[in-house]
Amino acid sequence: EIVLTQSPGTLSLSPGERATLSCRASPSVTRSHLAWYQQKLGQAPRLLLYATSTRAAGIPLRFSGSGSGTDFTLTISRLEPEDFAVYYCLRYDISDVYTFGGGTKVEVK
Amino acid sequence: QVQLQESGPGLVTPSETLSLTCAVSGESISSRNWWTWVRQSPGEGLQWIGEIIQTGTTTYNPSLKSRVTISVDEARNQFSLTLRSVTAADTAVYYCTRVKAGCSTASCYFDPWGQGRLVTVSS
């Protein structure tokens, strides 16, 4: 079974703090086939990063991605008020299946 | 700039068929993109439903494959989703999106997205 497990489920932080979100893949996934999304309440997901670490157009430098194989990380260097949202990772497999992680909610502490 | 807009009934009766359309503007649906449907149940995460390219080739989520059909209408520059035999578990916001030029060895992601269409399954 293809799974993406995101942790923690909820991250309580203050503006200005660093956020580190984890996405664990089983089985492993190619770096080029791992993306990250931000979703705010009532809105469609917004592409943040693709190919693990490439920022989408207009995405601020404070968002960065890293990882390979089974462990991937989204880092927000200094949280801005607009960054409090739910974040999802997405994988593509050569069996032509896409799978989302369960999401991490970043909330104001 | 590519824009996607979902439309269709917001209420479907259990055991009936859900039908949604995604109108594409700013790009020809006959381009080499994969046009995709994703859904999100209330308070839940995201689930990929399936995708289509203008040739008519489709791929579906194995968990939904027996009930799903995705089709493309080049004349209207839109694509559609049909989900048969719906139950309350199919209540969700349905999004249409795109995989630009399909998944390559370099990248694979959904972008842009429509605003979403809430479909409630209830009698």
Q: Select from B15, B12, B36 the least CA-distant residue to B92.
A: B12
Cβ-based neighbour number of residue B57 at 10 Å: 10
Q: Read off the pLDDT of residues A60-98 as tens digits, 9 standing for 90 and up.
A: 999 999 999 999 999 999 999 999 999 999 999 988 899
Q: Read off the pLDDT of residues A40-63 as tens digits, 9 standing for 90 and up.
A: 999 999 999 999 999 999 999 999
Instruction: State how far the alpha carbon of B24 is from the alpha carbons of B57, B70, B78, B101, B109, in Å.
Output: 18, 15, 6, 15, 18
Contact residues, chain B to chain A, C-beta under 8 Å: 36, 45-48, 59, 61-62, 95, 103-116
Q: Select from B26, B15, B12, B16 the least CA-distant residue to B91.
A: B12
pLDDT, position A11: 98
Q: What integer is the mean pLDDT of A12-39?
A: 97
pLDDT, position A3: 93
Q: Read off the pLDDT of residues B14-31 as tens digits, 9 standing for 90 and up.
A: 999 999 999 999 999 998
pLDDT, position B43: 83
Task: Say if CB B78 and CB B96 are below 8 A apart.
Answer: no
Tell me the chain A residues in contact with residue B45 when contact means C-beta distances shorter than 8 Å: 88, 100-103
* Amino acid at residue number A23: C
Whole-angstrom distance between the N-terminal and C-terminal Cα of chain A? 35
Tell me the chain A residues in contact with residue B108 when contact means C-beta distances shorter than 8 Å: 32-33, 35, 50, 92
Task: Say if CB A71 and CB A65 are below 8 A apart.
Answer: no
Q: Read off the pLDDT of residues B36-71 as tens digits, 9 standing for 90 and up.
A: 999 999 888 899 999 999 889 999 999 999 999 999
Confidence of residue B32 (pLDDT cuts 50, 70, 90): confident
User: What Rg, from alpha-carbon coordinates, does chain A have?
Assistant: 13
pLDDT, position A47: 98
